[in-house]
Structure 1
Amino acid sequence: MNNKKVIQKIEELSINALPALETELVDGWILRFSNGYAKRANSINPLYPSKYEIKEKIEDMQKIYRSKNLKAVYKLTENVFPHDLDVILEQEGYELDGLTSVQLLSLNEVSVSPAANAVNYSYLNDKWFLDFCKLNNIKETDQATLKKILQNIVPEVCYVTLLNDNNDALACGMSVLEDEYIGLFDIVTNEKHRSKGYGKQLIYTILNWGKENGAKNAYLQVVLDNRPALNLYSKLGFKEEYRYWYRIKS
């Protein structure tokens, strides 16, 4: 699979892994709307070839998102249509934001086992959700939207928490399995218990679940200014496949 096909594949998988509350396909571009929660769930994804005149189309996107009281946010990779879209958006006053590394790992190359204190759920468990929101500092006003997004996931999901003896969350995260790829999302460690190996234990638990359920590859997304996470994923064998970033009207 060449790089462009890999990009399209992972982008499609990640869209399915975090389904927007509303989605619209316009001339090859996927428009996502989720009450403003998370840029990726409220973004324009130019994944497929388009025919409309580009500057008129950009204006149309502005109008569509403005009608929903949202900023027009573009999620871009090296494989977008048209190929010079990033340059055009920059010229139109869209600022760069959120440069992110998308990394892959072949599960044939790793031997992993689950943590003894890990709890897995195949459904959206209330305690997991509360712990997840607390560790990720999800605003109370966004929690209802997030819950709807998670409830709308179609592929198989694994929600994981590492607990201490007091039943407190040490780390938590989630993964989505589709077409032999397992995506890891929002891996977070309790700030009181960082640098103790809990993030690694959580990831091993997720990867073990993925392998047991037929996954052959794992992918994740990490912003480039998160040096601790980049170091951890590198030690685990993840390698950058491509990058994505956002363009947002200033």
Structure 2
Amino acid sequence: MMTEERTALSQDDLTLVLDCERRIVNAWPSPATLLIGDWVVRFAGGYSGRANSASPLKPGAQLDEKTLALIEELYRADGLPPCIRLTPLVGEATRDLVLARGYEVKDASLGLVRSLTDVVFEAEPDLQIEARPSQEWVAGVAARQTGIKADPVKLSAIVDAVRLPAAFATWMVAGEPVAFGMSVAERGMAEIGSVVVDPAHRGHGYGRRLIGGLMGWARAMEADWAYLQVDRTNAVALGLYGSLGFRQLYTYETRVLDLAE
């Protein structure tokens, strides 16, 4: 499927996929990162698939059996299941090798993009943007997540490592924080992520306005594109992003190998 998708992508879109995949490493940095050939191998204590997986950074990137075994051992040594992201950048032989090894789908996601050339920054009095993640921002995001993503320590380890221009946004209603999100700008593109809205305040458009504010911030940082990654089963988020002008650029799978094999 990934090879077919790569073939179907225009050269411009394949270049855009590469731009997104390379930048996400810096926009969502893992506490530990290794470069192994044309792959980036990341470790973040199990918090999020992107931050705890091996990802290709070049079209047609390959792994031989010996290198894949090395990556698997590195994850096992860290107490994590070996995890590979199969994006349109992965080579066909490596995709076949990963499937033959028995890696199973953990998540299936979409990469979305939007041109920002029509966006104008407008100050929103209810939107607070900080250049660094405050304890309140980290706690607010973590409190509205579930499972391991509710761990503020693991979240902090990632966002505190951001070194590029960033916006950590909070939407306030009558002095109460009700929605959170972030954006990181790098070389003409800005990632948008960690968007959460308090369950008691959903349905009022706060998430939409927060994302709009982040898009305006990104444009003010001279970004021409916004990009993000979302689970393809998240119909609510996909509907929201689609209504904001985002389009699907590519799909990818996060596949894991059971530690108990």
CA–CA separation in structure 1 for the residues paired with 2:148 and 2:50? 17
Q: 1:19 aligns with which of 23, 29, 36?
A: 29
Quickly say closer, same or farther: Cα 1:139–1:24, change in 2 above 3 A. Answer: closer
Which one of the candidate residues 246, 252, 256 is aligned to 1:244? Answer: 252
1:147 aligns to 2:186 (yes or no): no
* Residue in structure 2 matched with residue 223 of structure 1 by the alignment: 231
Deviation at 1:140, TM superposition (A): 8.6
- TM (norm. structure 1) is 0.91
Residue number among 173, 193, 197 corresponding to 1:164 in the alignment:
173
Instruction: Summarize the alignment of residues 62-77 of structure 1 with structure 2, pairs less than 5 Å apart.
Output: 62-77=72-87
* C-alpha distance in structure 2 between counterparts of 1:42 and 1:139, whole Å: 13
Query: Aligned to 2:210, what secondary structure does the other structure show?
Result: helix
2:103 matches 1:94: yes
Unpaired segments of 5 or more residues in structure 2?
1-10
**Structure-2 separation of matches of 1:245 and 1:204:** 28
Query: How many angstroms does 1:36 deviate by?
Result: 1.8
List, as ranges, runs of 4+ consecutive aligned residues in structure 1 with deviation greater than 4 Å: 49-52, 138-141
Give per-residue Cα distances to partners, 1:202-246, cap 9 Å, x unaligned. 011111111122111111111111001101111111001111211
Distance in 2 (CA, whole Å) between partners of 1:150 and 1:99 is: 24
Q: Which residue of 1 aligns with 2:183?
A: 175
Structure 1 residue ranges without an equivalent (≥5): none
Trace 1:196-211 onto structure 2 (pairs within 5 A): 196-211=204-219
Q: Deviations over 1:54-73 (max 9, x none)?
A: 22222222112111111110
- Work out the CA distance in 2 between the residues paired with 1:141 and 1:118: 23
Q: What's the RMSD between the two structures over aligned residues?
A: 2.0
Structure 1 residues 51 and 181: alpha-carbon distance in aligned structure 2, compared to 1, 3 A threshold:
closer
Residues 1:112 and 1:157: Cα distance change in structure 2 (over 3 Å): closer
Question: 1:117 corresponds to which letter in structure 2?
Answer: D
Q: Deviations over 1:151-209 (max 9, x none)?
A: 111111100011111x2221110000111111100111111111111111101111111
Is residue 121–residue 217 contact of structure 2 (8 Å, CA) maintained in 1? no
C-alpha distance after superposition, 1:89-111 (max 9, x if no partner): 11211001211111111111345
Distance 1:224 1:139, change over 3 A: closer
Secondary structure at the counterpart of residue 231 of structure 1: helix
How big is the shift at 1:84?
3.1
Contact 1:114 1:204 in 2 (8 A): no
Structure 1 Cα separation of the partners of residues 120 and 162 of structure 2: 28
3-state DSSP class of the match of 1:84? Answer: helix
Aligned length: 247
In structure 1, the partner of 2:56 is 46
Tell me if the contact between 2:138 and 2:155 (Cα under 8 Å) persists in the aligned partners: no
> CA separation in 1, counterparts of 2:198 and 2:147?
14
Deviation at 1:145, TM superposition (A): 2.5
**1:119 to 2:128 alignment:** yes
Q: How much does 1:115 deviate?
A: 3.2
Aligned-pair CA distance for 1:13: 0.6
Alignment check: 8 A CA contact 1:115 1:202 kept = no
Identical-pair percentage: 27
The TM-score with structure 2 as length reference comes to: 0.88
2:6 — aligned with what? Answer: none
